[in-house]
Chains A and B, each alone.
Chain A
Amino acid sequence: MATTSLSVARPGIVLSARARRFWRQGGIELALVTLVLLAAWATISVTIPRPDRYLPSPLSVVLSSGDLLWKGILPNYVGQTLWRLVLGSLIGLALGIPFGILVGLNRHVSETFYPVLNFFQSISGIALLPILMIWWGTTEKTVFGVIVYTCFFPIAFTVLTGVRSTPLIYMNALRTLGASRLRIVRDVLVPGAMPSIATGARLSIGYAWRAAIAGEMLAGRRGLGWMIFSAQQVDQTAQVILGMVLIGFLWILLDRYVLRPIESDTIQRWGLVQR
């Protein structure tokens, strides 16, 4: 670390280890900035004309969430969106990882598929949505199609690149010891691809989350995305803000507690390149 930590030694005050960590990792600043932003939010909301439309106060957002919870609407919408994300990502990953590994095995095959995978990766799932809406209308199939598509290509591409970049020396070493092709795949290529699988999965699920929200908005399927979209149309801005806060919060939870730990663990255990 280039900069020194700012733990100021204060004689006479002994803080617990937890408190010291909170201070050092910027917990104070986080608390302060949250308070400042909330205060600014509340102040602006009170001073502008028509706050219900433009910037409802934090209190009304909280009340709106209570109302939606009481009426059983919020858990339903959150559950629907999460369900689409989980199922769609699982299908996309289950298709993409084996595809990436298989295609990566052979040099010529991987060179064949590399550009076309790159091409489809640049067509984001959201750009594909209008085509799917023409084909399948505003059904669940459309949203799932978008999520699976958005999830498949990044992971296939990343895994392909990962398998290709396994250093040849490992494969050659196993060959000199007389290993069969299958053995090499199992002991060198698959573990070598693990870091890219983990990184690619994190990337793919991130894309899939955005695609799920967008798909709900455009294809009109009930969920968090639909909630903020339709709330905007009837000027229920409190619901819009509530939805946005939930979306951000859910992603932070998912990323920090599930995706990132798995990624760093995998790289720690299987990573050939120092991170």
Chain B
Amino acid sequence: MLLVKRWREHPTVRFLALALAVLAAYNGYLYLTGPSRMTDRLRARLGEGPAAVNVLVTAKFPPEEFHIRLLQQVGNMRGVEGSTAKLYTITPASVRYLSRHYWVDRIDLAPDDGLK
């Protein structure tokens, strides 16, 4: 279908390659910086392989409806103080998922994690 010679110069190929490259770079950056958004305490706790943890998610600004909705989809929201949201009973996989959002400033272990 495409003129096979010089396909590298075809506008569609270049455009899609560029789009894919941007997407890959963007996602790569998010994945790489994910762990840096988790505090050492949290990482240690996750290393123990718990079923669920309670965390405090601090965004770079007071979370809006969009962010609260997103948080509610992965755990129990128990209130917001300033820029920090208390999120209870979420799986470690979800914690890692949250850490990959660039608007998250820090995810910390909640003080009452592990308590009933």
| Interface of A toward B, CB cutoff 8 Å | 70-73, 75-76, 194, 222, 253, 257-258, 261-262, 265-266, 268-270
Smallest CB–CB gap between A20 and chain B, Å?
21
Cα-based distance from A263 to B62 in the complex (angstroms): 47
Do the beta carbons of A257 and B2 come within 8 Å of each other?
no
Contact residue among A71, A194, A253 (Cβ-Cβ distance under 8 Å from B66) = A71
Q: Dominant SS at the A interface?
A: helix
Contact residue among A70, A73, A222, A262 (Cβ-Cβ distance under 8 Å from B12) = A262
Residues on A with beta carbons closer than 8 Å to the beta carbon of B103: 70-72
Give the A-B contact count at a CB cut-off of 8 A. 41
Q: Dominant SS at the B interface?
A: loop
One digit per residue, 1 when the CB lies within 8 angstroms of any chain A CB and 0 when it does not, for chain B 90-116 equals 000000000001110000000000000
Smallest CB–CB gap between B33 and chain A, Å?
13
Closest 4 CB pairs of A and B: A72-B103, A257-B15, A261-B12, A73-B66
Q: Across the two chains, which residue of chain B brings its CB closest to A67?
A: B61
Residues on A with beta carbons closer than 8 Å to the beta carbon of B12: 257-258, 261-262
| Interface of B toward A, CB cutoff 8 Å | 1-3, 10-12, 15-16, 26, 60-61, 64, 66-67, 101-103
Q: Across the two chains, which residue of chain B brings its CB closest to A197?
A: B1
Cα-based distance from A217 to B108 in the complex (angstroms): 37
Do the beta carbons of B15 and A258 come within 8 Å of each other?
yes
Do the beta carbons of A71 and B3 come within 8 Å of each other?
no
Cα-based distance from A28 to B102 in the complex (angstroms): 39
Residues on A with beta carbons closer than 8 Å to the beta carbon of B64: 71, 73
Identify which of A70, A72, A194, A265 gathers the most chain B CB atoms within 10 Å of its CB: A72
Q: A261-B10, A261-B11 are in contact. Are A72 and B2 (CB under 8 A)?
A: no
Residues on B with beta carbons closer than 8 Å to the beta carbon of A70: 60-61, 103
Residues on B with beta carbons closer than 8 Å to the beta carbon of A257: 11-12, 15
28 cross-chain CB contacts under 8 A: A70-B60, A71-B61, A71-B64, A71-B66, A71-B67, A72-B67, A72-B101, A72-B102, A72-B103, A73-B66, A75-B26, A222-B66, A257-B11, A257-B15, A258-B15, A258-B16, A261-B10, A261-B11, A261-B12, A262-B1, A262-B12, A265-B1, A265-B2, A266-B1, A268-B3, A269-B1, A269-B2, A270-B1
Q: Across the two chains, which residue of chain A brings its CB closest to B102?
A: A72
